[in-house]
Structure 1
Amino acid sequence: MPTDYVLFVHGVKVHDSKEFERLSTILLNRIRDSISDKSRVVTPIFFFWGDLNLAAQKELVAGLTASPKWSDFWFRDFRTEQILEFVGDAALYLSRHVGTQVVQRFREKGLGVLKGGNTSDRLHIITHSWGTVILFDILFARRWEDPILDVEVRNSVKELRNVLFGLDPNPQSGIPLASIHTMGSPLALFSLLNISGNVNGVSTHDLTPDLSRLLANLYTLRQKPLPWRNFAHPGDPIAYPIEGLKRMLLDSSTAYVDIQDVISEQGNIFNRPFSQKLVPLLWGGEAHGSYWDNPLVGKTISEIIRAAV
């Protein structure tokens, strides 16, 4: 019986592994409950990385609060609890030091499980927030092939990529992706690095070549587009649509993937008159964390995974 592997990757402001697993299990239980064939095996993989950046962020906050002028700044809590959490996580991951730690953590937590799969199995990816960028970067970005990197790190990335069907050096072996589900994702913003990161005509952050190659090989195997659902709460300032960016993200491989943006809810009725003002940003953090227990998100993901063959 084929196994459905479900890979959960969290985003910013998640610093406790048990809480991350609790939130992921809400979706996991909905998936399992939706599958009528109880002999079908659903195996979760929880990729937790949220503790790797804590020391650096605490040091930064201590430096900010030590500034004689810090008390003159407005929105101090918003700066340290919202903006810093997102921008800080992004900057730290893109640095070689923390980025390498994240790669090694993924290898420790996911490689052993995924190595047990084969082409008859299925892999479903569920990512939240910055976790989307982290996973896509590890699996597809060229920066991890840079010879300046430690050979152990480059080999770790190669091992992780080799467990997926459709990627070199053995594209016809490994676990095929069966669905992608992104929640509150800033992937649209990250795609700008494809343009701004060019060095001699090549962007080290460009996801497109390997992602396109994987999608093309998957289509040859399955003869149908890969379902990708991008969930966005209208009040989530980190979430962006990606349907209109298919060409930018996938180049000529748009026919190989079925991308649909899904609005998870309409937001607080009292905030709607101010939807294009700054006031709703005060509730942006709540909106950004709302996906795990959202009925529409759970129902949509469950239906797609249940229908995967």
Structure 2
Amino acid sequence: MTDHIIFIHGVNTRETGVTPTYADDLIKQLYRKNEALDNPLDLNMIPLYWGDVGKEDEAALLQSYQRSPLWKKMNFTGIRSNQLLQFTGDLALYISRFDGIKVIERLRLQAIAGLQQQGGTGPRPGDRLHLVTHSMGTIILFDALFSARWDPAKTSDYQGVEQIREAIFGLGAQPGQGLPLCSIHTLGSPISIFSLIMIKNGNGIMESMPNTHDITPRLQQMLAALYTILGRKLSWRNYIHPDDPVAYPLEDLLYSMIDPQQLLLDINDILTQEPGLLDPLLNTQLVGEVAEIALFGGNAHNSYWTNELVASAIFETLHQTSQLDDQNAPMQQPPDLTA
């Protein structure tokens, strides 16, 4: 059995060359840990790359800014031209239907190519899928897998998202087919902020979402199907660097939003390093302006790819998953989510 690990980066990631390199350090650490096992796992690493999809559109927008007579009189033009434009531009372009489809299609083709590396035959019965998503990459992947805005009735002739969903157990029209998703690892993820779109009538933030962005029904459907076939909860690890202003806790939010009975998910927030002695100073108003600049220029947000604790936690989950598959018999019925 093969463990297929798909990696997806966040916004403001620009690389040159055909093969993406942003996850190389993490992948090397995972391979080293695997080689130390008496019975190594069969690992298939699949890093996806979408960072240059909106490059031309963002360049055209920057040129329009630079034509303004005020541009040279503005402060922080370097940050505005690079980190800020790419950070917010990537997000804005993905939200648009046109560029969103370009991103999805890029990821779909790369995932297909990666999954077929195993002798050219694609995934085999018993194979497992794991997701390692960074920053905005989490939002993109969850939007593609679970959001109602990509349902066939809303996407006209484009069926790429449906093809992705058909490949994952519990998401397609044939719920008993596809690769089972066995673990999720979110690195520096802002996905909790997107729960704000669930607010309705001021009566609580967990009542419902707009139909076009609702991820909860399909996510619950997949989790119930996974529990039925695997007889265990889905492992979800959320990694947070204390200096990363984009990373937020997920544990309480996801339980209340998706799994209030804690039947389907095993969620843990993991701090990748302990706060420093001077960290309380970072929460004062005095350094607020500096912190805003550090949001786009600091190293904390990209540190997960080289962090030993992150690599160890991911590999431990991979190893435990393989052991649990050998021990647990599948259940006959999913738990009742409405009880």
TM value normalised by structure 1? 0.89
8 Å CA contact 1:130–1:186 kept in 2: the answer is yes
Aligned amino acid, residue 263 of structure 2: A
Structure 1 CA distance, aligned partners of 2:312 and 2:115? 25
Q: Which residue of 2 aligns with 1:102?
A: 103
- List aligned pairs for 1:5-84, cutoff 5 A: 5-16=4-15, 21-35=20-34, 36-38=37-39, 40-84=41-85
Name the SS of the counterpart of 1:32 in structure 2.
Answer: helix
CA distance in 1, matches of 2:18, 2:197: 32
Deviation per CA, 1:58-110, whole angstroms, max 9, x where unpaired?
12222222222234444333334333322211110010111010111122111
**Who is 1:260 aligned against?**
268
Verify the 8 A CA contact 2:9 2:134 in the aligned structure 1.
yes
Stretches of structure 1 that go unaligned for 5 or more consecutive residues are none
* Equivalent in 301, 306, 319 of residue 306 of structure 1: 319
Paired positions, count:
303
Q: Which residue of 1 aligns with 2:308?
A: 295
Partner of 1:135: 141
8 Å CA contact 2:9, 2:22 repeated in 1 = no
Q: Does 1:209 align with 2:217?
A: yes
Distance 1:85 1:248 in 2: 33
What stretches of structure 2 of length at least 5 have no aligned partner?
117-121, 201-207, 323-339
CA contact (8 A) 2:152 2:162 kept: no
Q: Quick one: which of 225, 236, 251 aligns to 1:243?
A: 251
* Regions of 4+ moved over 6 Å: none
Change (3 A) 1:38 1:32: farther
Residues in 2 aligned to 1:292 and 1:4: alpha-carbon distance in whole angstroms: 19
Structure 1 residues 291, 39: CA separation in 2 closer, same or farther (over 3 Å shift)?
closer
CA 1:4 to 1:255, structure 2 compared with 1: closer, same or farther past 3 Å? same
What is the rounded CA distance, in whole Å, between the counterparts of 2:219 and 2:113 in structure 1?
A: 23
Larger radius of gyration: 2
Q: Secondary structure at the match of 1:124?
A: strand
1:177 aligns with 2:181: yes
Q: Is the 8 A contact 2:26 2:307 kept in 1?
A: no
Name the SS of the counterpart of 2:305 in structure 1.
coil
Change (3 A) 1:296 1:20: farther
SS of the aligned residue for 2:150 comes to helix
Contact 1:233–1:263 under 8 Å retained in 2? yes
- Give the fraction of aligned pairs with identical amino acids, expressed as a percent: 37
